[in-house]
Amino acid sequence: MRVLAAAEFKRQMQQVSTSESRPDVVTAVQRIVASVRERGDAAVREWTKTLDGVDRAVAKVERKEIDRAWDRLPAELKKALQLSAAHLERYQRSLKPKRVATAVAPGLRLTTEWVPLRRIGAYAPGGRAAYPSTVLMTCIPARVAGVDEVYLASPPGPQGLPSPLVLAAAHLAKVDAVYAIGGAQALAAFAYGTATVPRVDKVVGPGNVYVAEAKRQLQGVVGTDAIAGPSELAIWADPKTDPELVVVDLLAQAEHDPEARALVVTTDTAYARRLATLADERVQSAQRKGVLETSLVRDGLIVVAASEKDVPDLLDAAAPEHVELLGAGATRIADQLRSAGTIFEGPLASASLGDYATGADHVLPTNRTARWSSPLSVYDFLRQRVRQRVDRQGLAKAGPAAIAIAEAEGLPNHANAVRRRLGP
């Protein structure tokens, strides 16, 4: 890990772009999306064979395979997933907004209602690992919102099916159908629809750079959640924080991907160097050593702040996916943060716990998009429907103002539409 001064770190963060895509990825995804749009299932089958080495005539997974995966799951893991699902559902139900009616003036009444989407497509990554937790995190909030049809896509393994863990989670989340499709072709199939795959209103879920680029290119064709990138963790640790605790959390988050990002903010240079040495040592004996040597040893950063009062500003500059406040003043610092996907307060709270079992969603904004994006939640599967009621008193109150503004904007027919209702 590298040790940086605060000023240099902030300079580097100002140069980070949240919108750049690799040209080769853009071109590849354009080809995939265009072919799926034009040729549907045939293109999906070809890309699955080319990219995943699997030739499936039909992408849809039979219901018996989904149910069998759940039945074969070890009892202990079943209980763990059920607990995770229960916590997640309880929290999401607490977030679900209520109908709001407001009398803005006598005779003018506005009502906001929250209407669930009809169909959504969730994506659960495959490849390096299987993520049953992501199935729960994407599909259960949709169910809580009241979405009519919830579909899931996940890459096929060597046997032609998504991971049994993913299928088991789909059973638990009451997914309507699962499709053995990965990457950009999965999102394109959901966006345009094929003879086999239904067209949906919105696609959600994390993925690799190709999935992220597909979301960019399909915006406007289909709704999307935040464009999530590699995982990120930022930790506040004062010199009294147990360095072993800091390092074990760094290892946990950095093992996701070689492009995962790990950051520590502290106030003591000697402590920073001690952390860097310890982290590098622990990587040598860790599982997933190859991933960690890139994400943590080569790219991990430790930033030395001038004082504790500078910590919130430095963390906000990173706008990370996860923030762990392991050092002193956790609550005070949390109160000041404005740009973080999710915040863990105190030494007992860890990003790993939040990834699986606290009830919060782990589909979070990355790559500094936490400056404006939020965690996936029930809100992503609802849209506002606004109803407006106007009686004579309300028309008399608002009508003249509407006429004056319409005429000022050079839209006389707008003014006449209101004037006709006001009468002589």
What was the pLDDT predicted at 13?
A: 86
Region for 40 from its dihedrals, namely left if φ exceeds 0, alpha if ψ lies in -120 to 50, beta otherwise: left
Confidence of residue 189 (pLDDT cuts 50, 70, 90): very high
Annotation says 322 is catalytic? yes
What was the pLDDT predicted at 128?
A: 67
389 three-state secondary structure = strand
142 three-state secondary structure = helix
Task: Show Cβ contacts of residue 109 under 8 Å, excluding neighbours closer than 6 positions.
Answer: 101, 102, 103, 388, 389, 390, 394
Confidence of residue 257 (pLDDT cuts 50, 70, 90): confident
pLDDT digits (tens, 9 = 90+) for 203-220: 999 988 899 999 999 999
DSSP string, 297-357: IIT-EEEE-SSGGGHHHHHHHH--SEEEE-STTHHHHHHH--S-SEEEESTT--HHHHHHT
Tokens of 85: 């699902």
Q: In this predicted structure, which of 35-49, 79-93, 217-231, 319-333 has the lowest mean pLDDT?
A: 217-231
Catalytic residue among 171, 256, 322, 362: 322
Q: What is the distance of C-alpha 254 from the center of its chain?
A: 18
Using alpha carbons only, what angle is made at residue 117 by residues 111 and 119, rounded to the nearest 5 degrees?
165
Fold of 40-224: Rossmann fold (3.40.50)
pLDDT digits (tens, 9 = 90+) for 67-90: 999 999 999 999 999 999 999 999
Kindly give the pairing relationship between strand 223-224 and strand 202-204: parallel
pLDDT digits (tens, 9 = 90+) for 332-343: 999 999 999 999
- 272 within 8 A of 302, measured Cβ to Cβ: yes
What was the pLDDT predicted at 126?
A: 85
What was the pLDDT predicted at 130?
A: 86
Asked: is 2-19+230-340 a CATH 3.40.50.1980 domain? The reply is: yes
Q: Where are the domains of the chain?
A: 2-19+230-340, 40-224, 391-422
420 three-state secondary structure = helix
Q: Side chain identity at 275, as an amino acid letter? A: L
- Fold match flag (2-19+230-340 vs 40-224): yes
Q: What percent of the chain has pLDDT over 70?
A: 98
Using alpha carbons only, what angle is made at residue 33 by residues 28 and 36, rounded to the nearest 5 degrees?
125
- 386 within 8 A of 112, measured Cβ to Cβ: yes
Q: Does residue 397 carry a pLDDT above 90?
A: yes
Catalytic residue among 232, 321, 324, 362: 321
Task: Show Cβ contacts of residue 67 under 8 Å, excluding neighbours closer than 6 positions.
Answer: 171
Mean pLDDT, all residues of the chain: 94
Q: Does residue 266 carry a pLDDT above 90?
A: yes
Q: In this predicted structure, which of 124-128, 222-226, 362-366, 391-395 has the lowest mean pLDDT?
A: 124-128
Q: Side chain identity at 71, as an amino acid letter? A: D
Separation of alpha carbons 147 and 396, rounded Å: 40
Separation of alpha carbons 63 and 66, rounded Å: 5
- Whose structure tokens read 């622990």? 282
Quote the crossing angle between the two packed helices 132-145 and 75-95, to the nearest 10°. 40
Annotation says 87 is catalytic? no
- Whose structure tokens read 């990173």? 318
Tokens of 228: 């999530």
- 156 within 8 A of 108, measured Cβ to Cβ: no
- 71 within 8 A of 171, measured Cβ to Cβ: no
